[in-house]
Amino acid sequence: MTNHSAQRKAAALAPTLTAAAILGTLGAPAHGQAQQQEQNLPEVRVNAQAASATTEGSGSYTSGSMTAATRLNLSVRETPQSVSVVTRQQMDDMNIRSVEDIANITPGLSLNKGATERASFYSRGFSISNFTEDGLTMSADGDTLGFATLAMYDRVEILRGAAGMMNGVGNPSGTMNFVRKRPTAENEVSLTGSIGRYHDYRGEVDARGALNQAGSLRGRAVAAYQDTDTFISNYRHKRALLYATADADLSRDTTLSVGFHVNDERNPGSTWYGLPTALDGSFLPLDRSASNAPDWTFWNKKNTRLFAELEHRLGNGWKVKLAAQALQDELDSVVTGIARVPKTNLFRLSAANAFVYDRQQRIVDAQAAGPFSLLGRRHEIVFGASYRTRDTEDKGYKSVPDYSYTFNPVNWDTGAPVKPAIGTFYYGQDSKTKQTGVYTTARFSLADPLALLVGGRVDWYDYRAINTFTGARSGYKVSREVTPYAGLVYDIDTRHSLYGSWTSIFNPQSAVDRNGVLLDPVTGINMEAGVKGEYFGGALNASAAVFRIVQKNLATALPLTQCGPGLLSCSEAAGEVRSDGFELSVSGALTPRWQMSAGFTYNTAEYAKAQGSNAAGARYAAERPSRLLRLSTSYRLSDAWRIGGALRAQNQIYKTNSAIRQGGYAVADLNAGWQVNRQLDVRLSVTNVFDRSYYQAISSIDSGNAFGDPRSAVLTAKYTF
């Protein structure tokens, strides 16, 4: 990027940064007793009674309740599975901007991002196949989904383990529920500006408040824009988000919520595949700025959401809710493939392709929830029905004749290759998915210390696909697939509980074999048991858990050379895979001034039975870490100053079919904040403080390997009025 370009972007944010500097001269309020100063600065006060699910303004690293596991609104301690939350306070403290940042800071989660715009997320040895947004399921599509900015979200709830009650289908790894910020009756506007390494400039506006005098109509709008280079030499971002929502009280007991958001991400210099290694599997002497993409590549995404929710409160704790969401995710890209020159460490840009994807989802969910009495005790139940469709239309075009440009990835000019004409159709895949389900979960109070959770889903699933290049058709239909759920929670005392849960697993696959035939659905079971603790009125939560997951027919990707004509990828069923492990976690307030989120996860995933090329007892997905440590913390030195940091560490990862190895590593971050006055907050975040060089993703000797981010710093100022 030229100096002129950097100056132009700095000028765009000059008003925000200048205002922050001028207001900073007003100074901090006079120091006094801690309680008095917390009253002077209410926006940073920690709510020790963490009873509310909303985390904005709580100052907390935990949440009072969530619905991510069972659809019942339960506290962390009452939920018989491993759950955690990344709160708005934690996002702000740690400068968490994207879903990739969420994976790097959350206990039990790991990230693999072998291509610049394709991220995969893992928990307990398996990939996360579905996300939810305000409880409505959507496919976790790494090619098209855009979560590069989290400005519109109050929190992200994470469930580790099977999420069958929420999603109906999916891997037993877990899910992430993105909960949007909601309108409030109180008027408030915040302006945020930041500047960081790699000419990283970002601005954000968040406005909320009553839209009429009575406060029965409330609105909120969030806009964010980022313009930045990256540590990769020719890879850049321009990202824009617009979110608007409104709540209307139609009556004393009925509320209608509507809204939309548009996310637009422009990413020139993107790679479709990651970096190669040497022929023997050792890492090439590459600088972290290395790229295998010419300057003319790009990978752009656009995500549009329309959503509505109607809630009616019936009285006696009962309510009914109807929610719907329409999604359109678009991809427009020009990218290249790479191939090794045989028996050398030279490579060819072997293809120049344009991919255009249009993927749409429609989700409707209706439910009723409330308490009831039986045999003299009070219980809770939720029941409902959901309908979901997903339509995809993917097209790929290539240059003719085939593109070829030989280069040495250690030292080459990414501006040298000439962009060819791309327009010959060579790949097409259209699909239609319909899923209808009914569900229920009940929490029975069997005795004062003992609760039984039972539930289940029944799903009808229909998948149809056509390869529009070859004309080949495939698909399957599943009727009345039952997903049962059972859990027990026993209160040892007023702070501690023992729990256990069991559920089955069902996940239809879109993966195909060498001949383009769909693989059979994944089936299996998920079991978990542990102990949870709740302290300081719910302000601090801790847990220890053991788990076992057994799956059959998991897809394992095969080399592209083994795939038939017209296929971009193919897989084979992995037989039976078993994952065993344990987790320890803690989140919330250790003291009124000290917030922490920490966790350690150990899991071992292996093939329980041989199938195809996979031997019994062999490690499954050794390129994913089996030991993970996550720690983030913030301490308020006074009502004006705070400091914090984060640490993430993992063990060695490797490929079982090659010599590629990435040793274990740890990455540390630091941050500091200054509450200048009631309106102005300034914070500095430094990531990878010791500038550790490592590969965060490994794949094959020819591509799919990617460096982790080097040291970086971001200075942020937020003004609220």
For β-strands 318-340 and 298-315, DSSP reports them as antiparallel
- Domain of 251, CATH number, reads 2.40.170.20
* 576 vs 231 pLDDT, higher one: 231
> Do residues 97 and 149 lie in contact, with contact meaning Cβ atoms separated by under 8 Å?
yes
Half-sphere exposure of 38 (CA within 13 A, CB side): 14
130 is a domain residue: yes
**pLDDT in the model for residue 26:** 28
Percent of all residues in the chain with a pLDDT value above 70, rounded to a whole number: 92
| pLDDT of 15 higher than 70 | no
* 48 vs 110 pLDDT, higher one: 110
| pLDDT of 37 higher than 50 | no
The Cα 210–Cα 219 span in angstroms is: 6
Task: Tell me the per-residue pLDDT of 403-444, one tens digit each, with 9 for 90 and over.
Answer: 999 999 999 999 999 999 999 999 999 999 999 999 999 999
* 200 vs 37 pLDDT, higher one: 200
**pLDDT in the model for residue 557:** 79
Write down the mean pLDDT value for the chain.
90
544 is a domain residue: no
Secondary structure (3-state) at 538: helix
**pLDDT in the model for residue 275:** 96
185 is a domain residue: yes
Secondary structure (3-state) at 22: helix
**pLDDT in the model for residue 13:** 40
Number of domains in the chain: 1
Task: Tell me the per-residue pLDDT of 261-310, one tens digit each, with 9 for 90 and over.
Answer: 999 999 999 999 899 999 999 999 999 999 999 999 999 999 999 999 99
For residue 55, what are the domain limits? 3-539+550-561+579-591+605-720
Mean pLDDT of 596-622: 88
**pLDDT in the model for residue 142:** 83
The Cα 342–Cα 594 span in angstroms is: 57
**pLDDT in the model for residue 203:** 98
**Angle at CA 30, nearest 5°, toward 26 and 32?**
160
Place of tokens 């949870």: 532
Candidate from 289-293, 586-590, 616-620, 685-689 with smallest mean pLDDT: 616-620
> Do residues 133 and 325 lie in contact, with contact meaning Cβ atoms separated by under 8 Å?
yes
32 is a domain residue: yes
568 is a domain residue: no
**pLDDT in the model for residue 617:** 87
Mean pLDDT of 480-500: 95
**Could you tell me the pLDDT band of residue 50, with boundaries at 50, 70 and 90?**
very low
| pLDDT of 201 higher than 90 | yes
570 is a domain residue: no
**pLDDT in the model for residue 527:** 95
**pLDDT in the model for residue 44:** 39
Percent of all residues in the chain with a pLDDT value above 90, rounded to a whole number: 75
**pLDDT in the model for residue 612:** 67
Task: Tell me the per-residue pLDDT of 650-700, one tens digit each, with 9 for 90 and over.
Answer: 999 999 889 999 999 999 999 999 999 999 999 999 999 999 999 999 999
Mean pLDDT of 71-91: 94
134 is a domain residue: yes
| pLDDT of 312 higher than 50 | yes
Query: Which pairs from 110-113 meet CB under 8 Å and 24+ separation?
Result: 110/624, 110/625, 110/628, 110/650, 111/696, 111/697, 112/623, 112/624, 112/696, 112/697, 113/696, 113/697, 113/706
Residues 6+ apart with CB under 8 A from 646: 94, 105, 631, 632, 633, 668, 669, 671
The Cα 11–Cα 5 span in angstroms is: 10
647 is a domain residue: yes
| pLDDT of 131 higher than 50 | yes
| pLDDT of 3 higher than 90 | no
DSSP 267: -
